[in-house]
């Protein structure tokens, strides 16, 4: 009889790394596609597949959003030496569900002097942008809604559209608090997008591709944060800082400064429309963390060091989808610590950090990475 390592060696000889056989979702998606093609016409097959993917992303959006709200409350309570939600359900896990039900049934308060069309459109723009970015993220081997050959460019371009929803919300509310919050958010997002883009471009130079699946595959023998030397580490740190600022989270939450602007750009929103903005903040945090995990920490790729060895084989036993979400939630935890550890910056301090420090460092770091790749000094 074959031992476990004998089976692994046999599978590796047949079709590459053994975990590709056990953890590859490609065969599942191909079988579903083939079954639908056999049951209906190509047009209705495409429509059905789009509906299935849409429903799955809606469920994913809701579950991740509710979980992150609960996690935020628990992390905040831990840092402040409190218990957090602990009454509704075991460990308070149903508290966020109760809050969601409350928001769904709360009255939508009309704003008399608001631009009603733009006021109602703004939260949907923010939500749609989130779904468009989530579709481009590779969650596991073969578990990828759309794999574009310009994946990084697509993510940067689409995610920048969220500022349109924020500006529309602030302007259409006809409120000075909302307008000030929207203007702050616009300046903040436009500024920190530069650092996010340059940090990702640093890894694109190292990977030699903008396709997310190719970038993940390039980290089979080691994650880019290790293979790219110090410039990759610097790019990673800058990306986390700039990504936190771009999502309007503390200590960069000037757009929602409660002590100054009530609730910022969504002050006048209520009910489900407020819930859209509230959940979008947490999904944006998930997107920032998942992109960082994909680009710098190998995405769904297990932790490997160099050529095939015993350590790499042990790491291969952990399913890729577990690797992806473990890395993502670890980075989310780090971003949450930022909010509950550091005091809020002033608007001048926030912009000074970007234009006088992060951006120049990023440009120099990009040039250093290009030189390292040109000389072939990377692993």
Q: How many CA atoms lie within 13 A of 220 on its CB side?
A: 12
Q: What integer pLDDT is reported at residue 13 of this predicted model?
A: 41
Q: What integer pLDDT is reported at residue 137 of this predicted model?
A: 92
Q: What integer pLDDT is reported at residue 261 of this predicted model?
A: 63
Residue 143 forms beta bridges with which residues?
A: 140
DSSP-derived letter for residue 143 is B
Please check whether residue 208 is in contact with residue 372, taking contact to mean a CB–CB distance below 8 angstroms: no
Q: What integer pLDDT is reported at residue 5 of this predicted model?
A: 40
Burial group, residue 246, by CB count within 10 angstroms (0-12, 13-18, 19+): buried
Q: Give 135's contacts (C-beta < 8 A, 6+ positions apart).
A: 53, 57, 145, 146
Q: What integer pLDDT is reported at residue 258 of this predicted model?
A: 64
Matching residue, tokens 């733009």: 118
Matching residue, tokens 């089976």: 7
Q: What integer pLDDT is reported at residue 20 of this predicted model?
A: 56
Q: What is the distance between the alpha carbons of residues 9 and 31, in angstroms, rounded to a whole number?
A: 27
Residue 369 forms beta bridges with which residues?
A: none
Tokens of residue 260, six digits: 């100054």
Provide the 3-class DSSP secondary structure of residue 104. Answer: helix
- CA dihedral over 44, 50, 51, 56, signed as positive or negative: positive
Tokens of residue 205, six digits: 């130079």
106: left (phi over 0), alpha (psi -120 to 50) or beta: beta
Q: What integer pLDDT is reported at residue 17 of this predicted model?
A: 55
Q: What is the distance between the alpha carbons of residues 118 and 122, in angstroms, rounded to a whole number?
A: 6
Tokens of residue 69, six digits: 């709200």
| Residue-by-residue pLDDT tens, the chain, 379 positions | 334 344 334 334 444 454 555 577 877 888 888 888 888 888 888 889 899 989 999 999 989 999 999 999 999 899 888 888 888 888 888 888 888 888 888 888 888 888 889 988 999 999 999 999 999 999 988 888 888 889 899 999 998 888 888 889 888 888 888 888 888 888 888 889 999 999 999 999 999 889 998 999 888 888 889 888 899 999 999 999 999 988 888 788 877 666 666 667 878 888 888 888 888 889 999 999 999 999 999 888 888 776 667 777 888 888 888 999 999 999 999 999 988 888 888 888 888 999 999 999 999 999 999 998 888 876 6
Q: What is the distance between the alpha carbons of residues 160 and 360, in angstroms, rounded to a whole number?
A: 21
Q: What integer pLDDT is reported at residue 12 of this predicted model?
A: 42
Helices (H) and strands (E) in the chain, counts: 18, 0
Tokens of residue 265, six digits: 């750009």
């Amino acid at each position: 009889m074959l031992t476990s390592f004998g089976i692994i060696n046999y599978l590796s000889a047949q079709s590459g790394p053994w975990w590709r056989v056990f953890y590859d979702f490609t065969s599942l998606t191909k079988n579903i596609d083939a079954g639908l093609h056999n049951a209906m016409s190509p047009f209705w097959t495409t429509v059905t597949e789009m509906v299935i993917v849409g429903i799955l992303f809606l469920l994913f959006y809701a579950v991740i959003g509710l979980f992150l709200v609960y996690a935020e409350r628990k992390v905040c309570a831990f840092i402040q030496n409190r218990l957090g939600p602990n009454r509704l359900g075991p460990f308070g896990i149903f508290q966020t569900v109760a809050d969601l039900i409350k928001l769904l049934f709360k009255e939508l308060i009309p704003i008399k002097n608001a631009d009603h069309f733009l006021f109602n459109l703004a939260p949907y723009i923010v939500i749609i942008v989130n779904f468009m970015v989530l579709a481009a993220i590779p969650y596991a081997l073969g578990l990828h809604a759309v794999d574009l050959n310009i994946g990084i460019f697509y993510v940067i371009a689409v995610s920048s559209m969220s500022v349109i929803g924020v500006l529309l919300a602030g302007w259409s509310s006809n409120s000075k608090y909302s307008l000030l919050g929207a203007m702050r958010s616009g300046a903040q997002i436009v500024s920190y997008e530069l650092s996010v883009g340059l940090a990702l471009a640093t890894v694109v130079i190292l990977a030699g591709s903008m396709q997310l699946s190719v970038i993940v595959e390039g980290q089979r023998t080691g994650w880019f944060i290790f293979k790219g030397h110090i410039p990759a580490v610097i790019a990673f740190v800058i990306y986390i800082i700039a990504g936190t600022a771009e999502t309007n989270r503390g200590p960069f939450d000037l757009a929602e400064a409660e002590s100054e602007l009530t609730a910022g750009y969504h002050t006048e929103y209520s009910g489900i429309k407020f819930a859209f903005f509230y959940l979008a903040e947490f999904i944006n945090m998930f997107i920032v963390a998942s992109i960082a995990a994909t680009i710098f920490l190998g995405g769904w790729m297990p932790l490997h060091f160099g050529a095939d060895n015993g350590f790499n084989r042990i790491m291969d036993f952990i399913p890729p989808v577990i690797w992806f979400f473990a890395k993502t939630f670890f980075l989310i935890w780090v971003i949450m610590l930022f909010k509950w550890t550091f005091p809020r910056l002033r608007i001048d301090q926030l912009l000074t950090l970007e234009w006088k420090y992060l951006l120049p460092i990023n440009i120099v770091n990009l040039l250093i990475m290009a030189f390292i790749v040109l000389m072939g000094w990377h692993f």
